[in-house]
Amino acid sequence: MARLLAPILSFTCEEVWQHLPKLPDRPQSVHLAKFPDAADVLGNSSVPEDDAQQHEWTTLLAVREQVLKALEDARTGKNIGKSLEAQLVITAADPAYSVLARHRDQLRYLFIVSAVTLVQGSGNGTGGVHVEVKKADGNKCDRCWNYSPRVGEDQTYPTVCERCSAVLKELERSASTKA
Ligand SMILES: [Zn+2]
């Protein structure tokens, strides 16, 4: 997803890319990665780029516009500083809700916030998306700078979030099995 959006949103996508776990074969910058084809995204070489897919991106980018505006307002109101200090409650009616729900796990990366809660709203049609910006729960993770109420939960890695402690454990485990 970050690769797909790179030409359109180069700065933001670079940020997203830098937040992804480092892999040996992943280039340093998103702009060094090759543009993915439909097969990369959909995991099926026979699926062509179709109208439905096009429509999904249009919806996601439209919601993103709305999110950026809401974050900007929150910053102006001094409620939050960096966007990772925020969590969002997005209330959406169909068809937007279904699109967002399909990408539920990626939304916080797309919007660069610490958490996104998706709520299905009533009503229908356009304008059925409402974005609420709140301060993120918990403390800042030393490793990824996301906020999580679970920072400090892991005794071995008390300054990082649950995702990072899982990654660190995995790194430690693979290092010890190689040794
Ligand atoms: Zn983290």
- 56 vs 27, which has greater pLDDT? 56
> 178 and 131 in one domain?
no
Q: Any idea which of 27-41, 54-68, 142-156 has the lowest mean pLDDT?
A: 27-41
27 versus 113: the higher-pLDDT residue is 113
Higher pLDDT, 100 or 36: 100
From ligand 1's centre to the CA of 161, what distance in Å? 4
122 vs 65: which has the higher pLDDT: 65
Mean pLDDT across 151-160: 96
Is the same domain home to 54 and 118?
A: yes
Domain harbouring 40, CATH code? 1.10.730.20
Contact call for residues 142 and 159 (beta carbons, < 8 A): yes
Judgement on whether residues 7 and 19 belong to the same structural domain of the protein: yes
Query: For 61-99, what is the HEC assignment?
Result: HHHHHHHHHHHHHHHHCCCCCCHHHEEEEEEECCCHHHH
**If you measure from the C-alpha of residue 151 to the centroid of ligand 1, how many angstroms do you get, rounded to a whole number?**
8
- For residues 82 and 97, membership in a common domain is answered with yes
11 CA from centroid of ligand 1 (Å) = 21
Which residue, among 117, 146, 178, 156, has the nearest Cα to 18 in the 3D structure?
Answer: 146
Going by pLDDT thresholds of 50, 70 and 90, the confidence category of residue 22 is: low
CA 26 to centroid of ligand 1, rounded, Å: 19
pLDDT at 90: 97
131 SS3 class: strand
- Domain range enclosing 158: 138-179
Q: Do 27 and 51 fall within a single domain?
A: yes
Residue 131: the pLDDT is 95
Query: Same domain, yes or no, for 96 and 106?
Result: yes
**String of b and e for 33-52 (b: at least 16 CB within 10 Å)?**
eeeeebeeeeeeeeeeeeee
Residue 21, pLDDT score: 56
Ligand 1 midpoint to CA 50 (Å): 36
Question: What's the confidence (pLDDT) of residue 39?
Answer: 47
Together in a domain, 100 and 30: yes
67 alpha carbon – ligand 1 mean position (Å): 22
The torsion angle over the Cα atoms of residues 156, 161, 167 and 173, rounded to 10 degrees, is 10
142 and 132 both lie in a single domain: no
Q: In this model, does residue 140 exceed pLDDT 60?
A: yes
Q: Cα of 7 to ligand 1 centre, how many Å? A: 27
Count: domains in the chain: 2
**Residues 169, 87 share a domain:** no
Residues 153, 133 share a domain: no
Q: Does 57 lie in the same domain as 37?
A: yes
**Same domain? 38 vs 103:** yes
- Find the range with the poorest average confidence among 3-7, 49-53, 105-109: 3-7
